[in-house]
């Protein structure tokens, strides 16, 4: 009887992607469906941002606050903002829901959530890259309704 030994080599590619936990405060009074859809669309930007998104509140969470309108020092047409202290972008993101939703009158809940998520992803990019600078695509300086609702 002949015995054969089979050697199987398996190569695993392990991707270690950092996690980002979002602690969400809904000061704007967005409905539960809009928040749920927004979180779904935020997760759609994970690959571009280079992080795995989760929702929860801990000492290391990024604080994401949905407010109705911008307050000083932010311009009244601002869609979102981060806070910079001593040259470091802080883990505090403000999203001004009314400014975004006014651009999308008559849009579906899905489109509104997609728009909110794009602004969140833009501000998250500032924090994760530690820069106030703008660029192209999601990092552009200004968004219009068409860009906010596009895939």
For 39-78, what is each residue's pLDDT tens digit?
999 999 999 999 999 999 999 999 999 999 999 999 999 9
Q: Mean pLDDT over residues 122-142, rounded?
A: 94
How far is the C-alpha of 67 from the C-alpha of 97, rounded, in Å? 6
Is 7 inside any structural domain? no
Is 134 inside any structural domain? yes
Is 81 inside any structural domain? yes
Neighbour order of strands in the sheet with 88-96: 52-55, 19-26, 62-67, 88-96, 80-85
Band of pLDDT at residue 5, cut at 50, 70 and 90: very low
Look at the chain and count its residues. Answer: 151
How far is the C-alpha of 80 from the C-alpha of 68, rounded, in Å? 11
Is 10 inside any structural domain? no
Domain count, the chain: 1
Residue 38, exposed/middle/buried by CB under 10 A (0-12, 13-18, 19+)?
buried
Is 89 inside any structural domain? yes
How far is the C-alpha of 135 from the C-alpha of 46, rounded, in Å? 18
Is 23 inside any structural domain? yes
Is 2 inside any structural domain? no
Please give the pLDDT value at position 34.
94
How far is the C-alpha of 23 from the C-alpha of 41, rounded, in Å? 16
Closest alpha carbon to 28 in 116, 121, 146:
116
Structural domain for 24, as ranges:
19-149
How far is the C-alpha of 119 from the C-alpha of 95, rounded, in Å? 7
pTM above 0.85, yes or no: yes
Is 5 inside any structural domain? no
Specify the CATH number for the domain of residue 33. 3.40.390.10
């Amino acid at each position: 009887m002949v015995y054969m030994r089979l050697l199987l080599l398996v190569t695993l590619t392990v991707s270690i992607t950092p996690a980002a936990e979002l602690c969400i405060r809904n000061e704007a009074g967005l409905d539960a469906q809009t928040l749920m859809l927004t979180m779904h669309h935020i997760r759609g930007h994970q690959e571009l941002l280079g992080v795995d998104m989760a929702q929860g509140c801990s000492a290391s969470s990024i604080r994401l606050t949905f407010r109705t309108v911008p307050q000083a020092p932010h311009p009244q047409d601002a869609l979102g903002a981060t806070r910079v202290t001593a040259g470091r972008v802080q883990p505090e993101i403000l999203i001004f829901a009314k400014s975004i939703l006014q651009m999308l009158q008559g849009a579906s809940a899905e489109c509104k959530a997609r728009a909110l998520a794009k602004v969140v992803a833009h501000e998250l990019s500032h924090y994760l890259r530690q820069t106030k600078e703008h660029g192209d695509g999601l990092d552009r300086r200004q968004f219009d309704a068409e860009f906010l609702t596009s895939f």
